[in-house]
Amino acid sequence: MEETPRSVGEASTTNFVPAETRPSAKKDAVTMKGCGFANLAWVGVDREELRGRLAMPEYLRLAMRDCIKRKDSTAVPDHLLLLPGGAVAEMAPHAPMVVFINPKSGGRHGPVLKQRLQQLMTDEQVFDLTEVKPHEFVRYGLACLETLAAKGDECARECREKMRIMVAGGDGTVGWVLGCLGELHNDGKSHIPPVGVIPLGTGNDLSRSFSWGGSFPFAWRSAMKRTLHRATLGTVSGLDSWKIVVSMPSGEVVDPPYSLKPTTEETALDQALDADRDIPPKAKSYEGVFYNYFSIGMDAQVAYGFHHLRNEKPYLAQGPVTNKLIYSSYSCTQGWFCTPCVSDPSLRGLRNIMKIHIKKANCSEWEEIHVPKSVRSIVVLNLYNYGSGRHPWGNLRPKYLEKRGFVEAHCDDGLIEIFGLKQGWHASFVMAEFISAKHIAQAAAIRFELRGGDWKNAFLQMDGEPWKQPMKSDYSTFVEIKKVPFQSLMINGE
């Protein structure tokens, strides 16, 4: 039975705000400009008062730390298992919180921000991602609270149920944490912790979409306290996430990004939609999840080249502004703005190597859609924000939406938008919001079929992580995108 789009999913939380009453991501993006903090009314909160709202009792913090260190959720000191009625009978804080910080983000200010967070909260509730991975916190830290709760500890139970998480980093770091929290959905757990953002990355589109702003302000000491205070009060909204499966002929080797993992075994490749296509008996498959966007084409090729350039010359990564300048300069050398004359003109458009099929809302049948001739990049977008706060889908008028069979785009509606970019000049006009991108479709599921030939490789990326995908002329490579059956939970920063 086909899943009905626009459902909230299986996640539950006492603070969840119904879709019809919560603000849309689009309105959030319009409200927040730049870092977004200056426009908000701020009522000063005493540092000790804030700490009292966030900090868990010491015995719980130490128990979580020990369980994570030993990688054993039952490694709780014996005296803590005497509850209830033992020496410890503390109250849970109003909004127990942990923060994950990527010290490599934020223009290398990560270590200083980490120290500030530890001053405002506690050392044990601030996790350096180079030392503690999100899945370790989920499997051993949260599970430690569940162990204590099962023994009758009401404080541990309340902390587990009220837990909120802040992520100090870029969109990739936020996605990493959200993906690890997805393990709780798979295990059938309730009370999934919602996530807020301290934007330290380059684009920060997830942060912008939920009103946390596009960058962290220079007055970061006061802003950090203000951000944590807002995180204790913010309402919770849903965020669709999308599973991607890349299936290729057996034997093909791909160098996937961190977010794309190989499946455990080979699977039969039965996705071909044309009877005249040859189907290999086996396929190598990779799976991953994205929250913002997936793209194929020239933009991914530029991102791939820039990614490797930065890895080879790390001294170039001096901060968001420097990254953007180098990225723009690099794109000019890759044929994004002008296809080299030596290139075969027939290879300029993606329609030469690609077919697209989609499933529309409440429909179980695949439908082929036209690939525009001039499009050199195709983007599948979940959020309203893209490319550091730009809005390529545009603010479409009701008459146009009705004519195309579209609905207004939201990040929790079970639908995803597909648009195309032509030459670099077209992309520049789209990013400057002078024009909208080339609208292609809205879909509840998508299937790309890529066939090689004169093109030996395609370039793909998801949430800023690019890779080079080898192609063959004998067999097709398939990329299938479907909605994850539950929503991630995000804290609104307004």
Q: Say which residue the tokens 């000063």 belong to.
A: 44
> Nearest CA to 449 among 477, 415, 411, 472?
477
Q: How much of the chain is in helix, strand and coil states, percent to nearest 5?
A: 30, 20, 45
What pLDDT, on a 0 to 100 scale, did the predictor assign at position 441?
Answer: 94
% pLDDT > 70, the chain: 72
Task: Give me 280's structure tokens.
Answer: 């290999």
Q: What is the mean pLDDT of residues 191-208?
A: 90
- pLDDT higher than 80, residue 33: no
User: Residue 262 — very low, low, confident or very high, per pLDDT cuts 50/70/90?
Assistant: confident
Cα–Cα distance for residue pair 179/462, rounded to 1 Å: 14
- pLDDT higher than 90, residue 39: no
Using DSSP's 3-state secondary structure scheme, residue 79 falls into helix
- pLDDT higher than 60, residue 12: no
Whether 129 and 113 have beta carbons less than 8 Å apart is answered as: no
What pLDDT, on a 0 to 100 scale, did the predictor assign at position 254?
Answer: 72
Least confident of 309-318, 367-376, 454-463: 309-318
Question: What Rg value do the Cα atoms of the chain yield, rounded?
Answer: 23
CA dihedral over 288, 291, 294, 298, signed as positive or negative: negative
- pLDDT higher than 90, residue 349: no
Cα–Cα distance for residue pair 190/54, rounded to 1 Å: 21
Whether 214 and 28 have beta carbons less than 8 Å apart is answered as: no
> Nearest CA to 32 among 418, 493, 447?
493
Task: Give me 235's structure tokens.
Answer: 């309402």
Q: What is the mean pLDDT of residues 297-319?
A: 66
pLDDT tens track for 114-147? 888 998 999 999 999 999 999 999 999 999 999 9
Whether 231 and 166 have beta carbons less than 8 Å apart is answered as: yes
- pLDDT higher than 60, residue 399: yes
- pLDDT higher than 70, residue 384: yes
Is 433 or 31 the better-scoring residue by pLDDT?
A: 433
Half-sphere exposure of 243 (CA within 13 A, CB side): 13
Is 267 or 199 the better-scoring residue by pLDDT?
A: 199
pLDDT tens track for 97-115? 999 998 776 556 677 888 8
Q: What is the mean pLDDT of residues 330-342?
A: 47
pLDDT tens track for 245-254? 998 887 677 7
How many angstroms separate the Cα of 132 from the Cα of each of 61, 100, 138, 378, 463?
A: 14, 9, 11, 36, 22
Q: What is the mean pLDDT of residues 345-357?
A: 77
Is 306 or 125 the better-scoring residue by pLDDT?
A: 125
What pLDDT, on a 0 to 100 scale, did the predictor assign at position 54?
Answer: 92
pLDDT tens track for 420-448? 988 666 677 776 777 778 899 999 999 99
Using DSSP's 3-state secondary structure scheme, residue 467 falls into strand
